[in-house]
Amino acid sequence: MEGVGAVANVVAVVNLSVKVVTLCSQYAEDVRGARVRGEIDELRDEVTALRRAAKSARRLIKDQHGAASLEAARDMDDALRESINVLRRLEGDLQYGDAQKRISSASKVYQTAIIGVDAKMVRVDETMVSMEQRMAMHMLPTALGALYDSREEEDGATCLTGTRVELLREIDDWINSRKAPIVFWLNGMAGTGKSTISRTVATTTAMHRHLGASFFFKRGETDRGNMSRFYTTIAYQLVRSMPDLVPHIRAAFDGKDSVIEMSADKQFEKLILQPLMRIRHRNRTILAIVVDGLDECDGDDDIRRLITLLSDFKDVKNFRIRVLITSRPELPTRLGFHDNRDHHRNFVLHEISDTNIEHDVEIFLRFRLDQIRRNYNRAVLRDRHLPKDWPGQRDTTTLIRMAGPLFIFASTVCRFLSDRRCGNPREQLRKVLKYRTRSQEARMEATYLPPLEQQLAGLTNSGKGQVLDDFRTVVGTIVLLETPLPASALASLLDVREDTVHARLDILHSVLNVPQSPDSPIRLLHPSFRDFLTDPERRGTNEFWVDEKYWNGHITACCLRIMNDALEEDICGQVHPGADRASLRRGQVDSSIPPELKYACRFWAFHMQNAERSFYRDQEVYTFLSSHLLHWIEVLSLIERPTESYQISKSLQVFLHNTPCSELGLLLKEAPSFIQRNLAIIDSHPLQLYSSLLSITPENSEMRKLFWGEGPSWVSLVPTPDSHWNQVQYTLEGHKGTVNAVAFSPDSSLLASASSDANVRIWRVETGECIREFQRHKRPVRDVKFSPDSTLIASKCDETIRIWKSDSGIQMENLPIQGNHRECPVEFSPDSKLVAWIGERGDLRILQLDNRQCIRHFRQGGFTDPRKRLQTTPYSLRFSSDSKVIAVVVEETGFFSLWSVENGYRIRKHEQTGNLSLEVPHNSPRRDVSYRFVEDSSQSTVMNTESTFMMAGNQTLHSESDDTVLVRWVETGEVVQSITTPYSGRSRATLTQFSPDGAILGSIHEDKTVKIWEISTGNCLHILSGFASEVKAMSFSPDMRLVASGSADKMVHICSISSGSNLPLSEESRQPIQAMVVSPDGSVVASFSANKELALWMIDTGACMHRLECPHRHWPACLRD
């Protein structure tokens, strides 16, 4: 009804505006004088503005954008107030009888209208903003239980008054300081009270209205154990506390691509960083974010990436952002903070002085022990009361010393003492004190063994064995679950009676959160309990030890049993194949898919991949998938986890790639592709799995053979499908400009792409997903390459070369290059410790990457063309295999030089004066300089467009004439070997190439032959002939057994180096061959033809495996595997 009232008031104001304008017109006819008429015109202008503002306010009621609502309200308010000022001024200046009275009356009406409009518009604003806020929050998926004040965290403690005083003061000073670093990293061992401090800081900052967001990671709690919903959860809380963010969050969802499916970098940028930067007039308001338990997050790369992204908060000028992060000092976290050491402050919790720790633990223990005593005394008869000084100074001091820096010991012991199911506090305390010690390992035993051993008290050996078996079945499963389950679901999953579950949990309330509600999940109170039970070091010494591999296998078997029993087509009874998933009620899904089935569908593959291999057979997996693959995909869609079906099937494909079950291998090869291509339909209309999606599955596919019978029988007309799956594995979309270059990482796991949109994207080869995007270039990116160890990426635009860390996305360096020269090279050393590039003035620089110091600077004089006496641009660089020498070839000349990286001296320079000895394909888009160092660190090959230089050891092969190749010492130029080619008019060598070990030289000649030479003797080992036309390309296999060559007559030849015999190919290329490369394992040769066709040939059979049309001119390259 508020909205209706507001509309009425707005309409009244609009009507009033019309009346006032009319009055003004009548008044103008009655008055005389230029000054008065001018004021009347002014009045009319103001009233007209009022009418426009009122109409805007009227539209506001129907507007769907909160920002527009606020703007319209402000406009109307401003217009009304200004109109009143004008009316008042005119009222005082003009005294014209009735006209004056009319204006005075209008002014009073306006004042009355303003009061009503003010009140109603405020309410409209609040209503609209509230609606917009809720809509924006609804778009952002959140991790259940991750907020500090969530129901899952309600039992979490905060610091007692008088404890952690100095630390909390230091954190408070950091939050309020104007010059402090953005991040405060509080790290400490398990059980030192990090989460308690996080809750305290979150609570305190929330009280002061400074808390923007919080996220409490927790392994084994679904979305709290990874980054999948971290960024959206943070954005959700920011919107909740700052309505001004609403339009900017909404804008992030306006694009074609779903921001929820974007990479972590993009989510952070679009949902958090950019919205905060676009809010104005916040005057450096404090905005605190609390991130607890970062070490509990799966994914080392994700942890390091988050730490890197947080440093971008330095660009937010209108807030003073402070991020508190707590974690154990695990390696990924340490590396992440080391890479961003300029943007954080470090505090080591377990290094606080013993005096301070004992003081805080003593306050906590005395407070809790007094509570335990009073609660116990209230519950028992007076003659059983504990004395007022219980447990006494000596035992209290002993407990304090036993705790050391571990607050988890103190809190667990107090829960144990207060649990009446275990006995009275006096008896329980004696059990704890048996474990008095000062060692760290023994402290964990003293923390957890007393409640655990309570289960075995008074039992015979056989009774103990049964209890321990039940304990491992129930509690062992609880600590290994990926997300917690209620007791009833746990019993169903394990196929045991619910009483058995409760019997094991009844006296473990001090280490497990066992809720009263049967529908609430059972949770760990602290992750160190899991560590204690599964620690491999405690095998044989801890009788409660849980074998992770064994029990993961047991859980796998349970999941398969649950799914085999429960999965079926149309599990929710929607009936119609076109039924929309959105039409299902949540209750209908929950009743059809109970918690144990949801769990089994989501996590069976995870447990299998962490299990003993003997616990399952590949045939069992195939039996399940061949019966229930579509049913399983349907369930994951119905519980709103459709992308997980792709991720799980892809992980299984990798995990079982060597399966002896050939049917399983075929099915896993097809399933991820089937899901990926149809994911949108599976998400919205899952029953289409059994009809339209199967109908377009290739005729000869394994999936069609298995599941075609599951489609509706009434469908009589179906499309004719392809016979086989398309060979295109992925089409990677996301760039907004031309893709100029791509590069595989040497470990074959990543693909980098460089685009004219000034961005570099990193794609995961296994899944085709974009995992990172680098956006700091300001011009089109021309080239991209990985370091040999795959850890670094170099991207090049017209002005700079940027070096990035591939795992975290950190930009390490921004290297200036010679102005506007697109061909300036960059090269990593083979050990990935150095990078060489051509600087702003054409000089060669070498950067040491670990300390980011420029260790060599070779002046441009070394690259002056000796014939033209002009400075030229080095076109190609290459390090020797031991990273001690770098070779430089100058563009379009024969100038070539070698430099020592160690001492900066030039070892050799050379100017070619002979005839052309290397031919580059005529349609190459540029005059490529091709060169390489061979695997042996002392040998190399360098080739350029004008001449050929080759080195073996400290020797160089230099084409001296049309029929002789000389081997020279690099340093002295002395000839140590001569290779003579018989001259017969057209025998000139047009291309030469070394074998990978530098022992063999191959040369292509104009007489349609390929000659194989032994470098050490100069002897010609073989002459390959029989080519009908000129040979265009050649390539040695890495094991030096074979040489592949291709010719203009479209033929590919594979020759054995040892025998010189040809291996026949089953068919010829369709166009003249221009380039070739042999795969690293020597099994496949790739040829690139004049029509841009890439063909893959099996060397052992000679068969052509695939022919791929390539819409570019880049030569082929092979992945290492």
pLDDT tens digit string along 327-364? 999 888 888 888 777 778 999 987 888 888 889 999 99
CA distance 244 to 239: 8
- pLDDT > 70? residue 955: no
User: Sorting pLDDT into bands at 50, 70 and 90, what band is 639?
Assistant: very high
DSSP 969: E
pLDDT over 80 (residue 919)? no
Q: Is residue 663's pLDDT more than 80?
A: yes
Residue 912: what pLDDT? 44
Q: Using an 8 Å Cβ cutoff, are 740 and 716 in contact?
A: no
pLDDT for the residue numbered 547? 95
Q: Beta partners for 512?
A: 524
pLDDT of residue 969: 53
Q: Which residue has the tokens 């730490």?
A: 307
pLDDT higher at 630 or 856: 630
pLDDT higher at 282 or 298:
298
Between CA 762 and CA 353 the distance in angstroms is: 46
Residues of the chain with CATH 1.20.120.230: 2-138
**What is the reported pLDDT for 753?**
93
Region of residue 575 (left: phi > 0; alpha: psi -120 to 50; beta: else): left
Model confidence at 166: pLDDT above 90? yes
**Over the chain, what is the mean pLDDT?**
77
pLDDT of residue 819: 53
Q: Which of 166, 158, 157 is nearest to 359 (CA)?
A: 166
CA–CA gap between residue 1074 and residue 1034 (Å, rounded): 9
CA-to-CA distance for 1012 and 1019, rounded, in angstroms?
Answer: 9
pLDDT confidence band for 105 (50 / 70 / 90):
low
Give 868 or 205, the one with higher predicted confidence: 205
Split at pLDDT 50, 70, 90, the class of 918 is very low
Q: Are the C-beta atoms of residues 682 and 637 closer than 8 Å to each other?
A: yes
Most confident of 1-10, 41-50, 91-100: 41-50
In this prediction, residue 391 carries a pLDDT of: 93
CA-closest candidate to residue 917, choices 992, 970, 986: 992
Q: Which amino acid is at 712?
A: P
Residue 448 has pLDDT above 70, yes or no: yes
Q: What is the pLDDT of residue 612?
A: 84
| H or E segment to which residue 874 belongs | strand 874-879
Q: What is the DSSP letter of 273?
A: I
pLDDT band with cut points at 50, 70 and 90 for residue 163: very high
Across 379-408, average pLDDT: 90
pLDDT value at position 30? 52
pLDDT at 35 > cutoff 70: no
Grouping H, G, I as helix, E, B as strand and the rest as coil, residue 317 is coil
The Cα–Cα gap between 430 and 426 comes to 7
Which of 263-267, 475-479, 579-583 reaches the highest mean pLDDT?
A: 475-479
Which secondary-structure segment (H or E) carries 377?
helix 354-379
What stretches of 94-172 adopt beta strand conformation (E)?
Answer: none
Ranges of CATH 3.40.50.300 domains, the chain: 151-350
As a whole-number percent, the residues of the chain with pLDDT over 90 amount to: 27
pLDDT, residue 947, reads: 30
Mean pLDDT confidence for 1042-1057: 74
* pLDDT at res. 954: 34
| Residue bearing tokens 């405690």 | 538
CB < 8 Å & 24+ apart, contacts of 441-445? 443/402, 443/403, 443/404, 443/406, 443/409, 444/191, 444/406, 444/528, 444/531, 444/532, 445/532, 445/542
What whole-number percentage of the chain has pLDDT above 70? 70
Residue 378's pLDDT is 92
Residues 322 and 180: beta-carbon distance below 8 Å: yes
Q: Which residue has the higher pLDDT, 1029 or 173?
A: 173
Each residue's pLDDT tens digit, 230-239: 999 999 999 9
How far is 198 from 347, CA to CA, in rounded Å?
13
Is the peptide bond between 391 and the residue preceding it cis, with omega within 30 degrees of 0? yes
pLDDT level of residue 49 (50, 70, 90 thresholds): low
Q: Does the structure show a pLDDT above 70 at 313?
A: yes
Write down the pLDDT at residue 875.
59
CATH fourth-level superfamily of 151-350: P-loop containing nucleotide triphosphate hydrolases (3.40.50.300)
Using the predicted structure, report yes or no on whether residue 447 has a pLDDT greater than 90: no
Phi and psi angles of residue 662, each rounded to the nearest 5 degrees, phi first: -65, -35
Can you give the pLDDT at residue 196?
A: 94
- Which pLDDT does position 1052 carry in this prediction? 73
The residue assigned the tokens 């685009």 is 755
Using one digit for the tens of pLDDT, what is the confidence trace for 471-509?
999 999 999 999 999 999 999 999 999 999 998 998 898
Q: Specify the CATH class of 2-138 in words.
A: mainly alpha
713, pLDDT greater than 70:
no
Q: Are 555 and 600 in contact (CB under 8 A)?
A: no
Q: Tell me: pLDDT of 20 over 60.
A: no
Q: What is the pLDDT of residue 1120?
A: 39
Confidence at residue 852, expressed as pLDDT on a 0 to 100 scale: 78
pLDDT in tens, 991-1049: 677 776 667 777 777 778 888 888 778 788 888 777 777 787 787 877 777 788 777 76
Q: Does pLDDT of 970 surpass 60? A: no
Looking at the predicted structure, is the pLDDT value of residue 923 above 80? no
DSSP state of 842: S
pLDDT band at 1090 (very low <50, low <70, confident <90, very high): low
Q: Which residues pair with 612 in a beta bridge?
A: none
Tell me, what's the pLDDT at 561? 96
* The pLDDT value given to residue 34: 44
Cα separation, 798 vs 820, whole angstroms: 5
Model pTM score: 0.63
More confident of the two residues 891 and 542: 542
Mean pLDDT of 194-209: 94
The Cβ of residue 600 has, within 10 Å, a number of other Cβ atoms equal to 27
Inform me whether the pLDDT recorded for 986 exceeds 90.
no
Model confidence at 110, pLDDT cuts 50, 70, 90, reads low
Distance of alpha carbon 880 from alpha carbon 887, whole angstroms: 8
Instruction: Count other Cβ atoms within 10 Å, centred on residue 858.
Output: 22
Residue 760 CA to residue 783 CA, distance in Å, equals 9
